């Protein structure tokens, strides 16, 4: 009490306050009033959707009362309508989730009235999902979706504020990060936060678990803006749009001929957009647990290369079965035999050296094989597939052996020479795949893994902690992976699926595009044990 009195007596005011006490008091009063009104508006804005809905509800009730002449009857009718809407919404949500299963059993369900009703709701759900995908492609559609997502955005702002207050994220001045922007995304909501002095993306990252629970979401992904460290993107992940997708059709099937210099259609991302990867001058590394979809992913790239008259295929396939249809079609093919495999690699190195020498001899400064030079000189892109890389670098070879060294040499030196390495393995740890080789890949894709550490080994240190973890990929949803290629953030992708008949068909029908070279001789029998 005495302290307070002291403060009061100590406060003398500024010179202006002493000279014009009435004016100063008026200014102070207006400022306090302004602050109060501002606070009221900010709070009302947070609850704007609820306030709007309440207003609309009262308006409808008053109208009903006016028509019916009884306030109680009006309230009963309004209540019944709201309850019916709620029940419909719950049924819709439940049936929408089960839409793919319902689709499969449609025949049996159509036989009874409840089944038919369920089918109609499932069809409406599918239609809405499709409509949303179409709307997202157009500006006017995005405005509509923005308006539709108001409630979700208001909810996530509240949840995030509660979460941040709950973990005492205020800085010394008692301020929370400012929420600058919120938008709805196909997976949930994305917000941009502006950190106040004393806060950082890294600090926020340590509270990711609590924020995830506060948002009642599957996950939150926290990433710092690369250009402004006080800006933080928080992705609140509520659903997995790829979970219910069936097999993705490969675009290339509709084309007679493709070019390896053009981007390869590899699948679909979470927004429902096609994912295309430029492969020229790049390398891709695919990794994940057994059966996660690596070889099927390689097949997509293989089929694109096979349909491209400007590309040639080379395979090292210890499993033997994966790329068998291409054996007669490829420029070089080796099974599990280490000498054969090394021979393929040496063939690639010799060709790479020949191309680099040729580039050197061309007039002017030619730093790399371009599409024009390739067409002018008749040089095809060589796509080198190694399935189950670890077989040659750890099972029958070593991480320091000739195979590993040759593979590393190819990845590091021949990017400019039109050699495209596509390597896949189950466990990319340093004891099975040399780190010096793995780190050279410009594109990496992590299929399902069992541990966060394995996911980080593939994508790079720290991604799993930020919410980009291959452990989240559903075991049943094969062919889904985190792809780190273009852009700063990994993208969740479902790879296209090409069935065996199409592959076998393409392996025969695309032969006419290019003459076959002498393949590397492979012994007729090979009893080396193989890794599964
Ligand atoms: N994109 C996809 N769409 C649908 N199903 C897929 C997809 N990719 C893979 N699958 C399913 O998963 C199975 C296993 O895939 P795949 O053989 O490519 O796995 P893998 O990762 O190469 O396994 P391994 O490490 O044992 O070689 C396929 O037979 C197929 O049924
Ligand atoms: Mg495989």
Contacts of 159 (CB under 8 A, 6+ apart): 214, 215, 216
Ligand 1 atom at minimum distance from 424 CA: 22
CA distance 488 to 7: 53
Ligand nearest to the CA of 245: 1
CA distance 484 to 458: 10
For ion ligand 2, residues whose CB falls within 5 Å: 295
Mutate to test the pocket of ligand 1, among 449, 479, 480, 494 (most ligand atoms within 8 A of CB): 479
CA distance 306 to 323: 12
Does the beta carbon of 531 lie inside 6 Å of ligand 1?
Answer: no
CA distance 452 to 492: 16
Q: For the residues of 193-231, what is the DSSP string, one character each?
A: EEPPTT--HHHHHTTHHHHHHHTTSSEEEEEE-SS-TTE
Mutate to test the pocket of ligand 1, among 244, 478, 502 (most ligand atoms within 8 A of CB): 478
Ligand nearest to the CA of 268: 1
* Cα(289) to centroid(ligand 2), Å: 9
Instruction: Check if the beta carbon of residue 209 is closer than 8 Å to that of residue 195.
Output: no
Residue with tokens 């302290």: 3
| CA of residue 215 relative to chain centroid, distance | 20
**Domains of the chain, start order:** 48-147 (no CATH), 151-237 (3.30.980.40), 262-513 (3.40.50.300)
Residues present in the chain in total: 532
* Cα(137) to centroid(ligand 2), Å: 35
Q: For the residues of 403-414, what is the DSSP string, one character each?
A: HHHHHHHHHHH-
pLDDT at res. 1: 40
* Cα(461) to centroid(ligand 2), Å: 25
Segments of the chain scoring below 70 in pLDDT: 1-13, 100, 104, 244, 487, 511-532
Given the DSSP bridges, would you call strands 381-386 and 419-425 parallel, antiparallel or unpaired? parallel
Closest CA to 381 of 325, 316, 441, 331: 331
Q: What is the pLDDT of residues 377-397, one digit of tens each?
A: 889 999 999 999 999 998 988
pLDDT at res. 520: 45
pLDDT at res. 11: 56
CA distance 470 to 462: 12
Ligand 1 atom at minimum distance from 288 CA: 21
């Amino acid at each position: 009490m005495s302290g307070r009195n002291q403060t009061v007596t100590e406060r003398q005011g500024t010179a202006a306050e002493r000279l014009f006490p009435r004016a100063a008091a008026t200014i102070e009063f207006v400022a306090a009033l302004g602050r109060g009104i501002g606070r009221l508006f900010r709070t009302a804005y947070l609850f704007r959707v609820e306030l709007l809905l309440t207003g609309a509800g009262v308006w409808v009730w008053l109208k009903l009362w006016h028509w019916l002449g009884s306030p109680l009857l009006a309230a009963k009718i309004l209540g019944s309508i709201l309850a019916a809407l709620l029940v419909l919404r719950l049924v819709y949500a439940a049936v929408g989730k089960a839409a793919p299963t319902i689709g499969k059993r449609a025949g049996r369900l159509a036989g009874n009235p409840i089944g038919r009703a369920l089918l109609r709701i499932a069809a409406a759900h599918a239609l809405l999902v499709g409509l949303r995908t179409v709307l997202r492609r157009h500006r006017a559609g995005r405005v509509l979706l923005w308006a539709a997502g108001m409630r979700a955005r208001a909810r996530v702002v509240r949840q995030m504020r509660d979460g941040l207050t709950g973990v005492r994220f205020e800085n010394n001045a008692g301020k929370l990060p400012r929420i600058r922007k919120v938008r709805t995304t196909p997976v949930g909501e994305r917000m941009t936060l502006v950190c106040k002095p004393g806060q950082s993306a890294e600090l926020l990252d340590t509270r990711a678990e609590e924020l995830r629970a506060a948002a009642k979401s599957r996950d939150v992904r926290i990433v710092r803006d690369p250009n402004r460290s006080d800006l933080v993107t928080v992705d609140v992940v509520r659903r997995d749009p790829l979970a219910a997708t069936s097999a993705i059709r490969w675009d290339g099937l509709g084309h007679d001929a493709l070019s390896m210099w053009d981007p390869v259609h590899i699948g679909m991302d979470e927004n429902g957009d096609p994912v295309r990867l430029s492969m020229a001058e790049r390398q891709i590394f695919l990794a994940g647990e057994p059966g996660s979809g690596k070889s099927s992913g390689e097949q997509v790239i293989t089929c694109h290369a096979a349909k491209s008259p400007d590309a040639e295929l080379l395979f090292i396939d210890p499993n033997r079965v994966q790329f068998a249809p291409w054996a007669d079609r490829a420029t070089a093919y080796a099974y599990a035999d280490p000498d054969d495999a090394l021979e393929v690699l040496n063939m690639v190195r010799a060709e790479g050296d020949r191309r680099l020498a040729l580039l050197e001899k061309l007039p002017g400064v030619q730093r790399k094989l371009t599409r024009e030079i390739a067409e002018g000189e008749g040089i095809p892109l060589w796509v080198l597939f190694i399935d189950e890389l670890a077989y040659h670098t750890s099972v029958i070879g070593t991480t320091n052996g000739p195979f590993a060294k040759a593979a590393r040499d190819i990845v590091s030196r021949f990017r400019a020479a039109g050699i495209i390495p596509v390597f896949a393995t189950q466990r990319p740890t340093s004891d099975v795949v040399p780190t010096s080789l793995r780190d050279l890949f410009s594109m990496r894709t992590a299929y399902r893994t069992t541990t966060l550490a394995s996911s980080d080994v593939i994508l790079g240190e720290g991604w799993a902690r930020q919410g980009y973890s291959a452990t989240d990929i559903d075991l049943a949803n094969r062919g889904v992976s985190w792809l780190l290629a273009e852009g700063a953030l990994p993208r969740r992708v479902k790879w296209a699926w090409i069935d065996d008949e199409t592959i076998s068909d393409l392996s025969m029908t695309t032969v006419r595009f290019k003459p076959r070279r002498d393949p590397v001789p492979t012994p007729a029998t090979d009893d080396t044990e193989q890794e599964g």
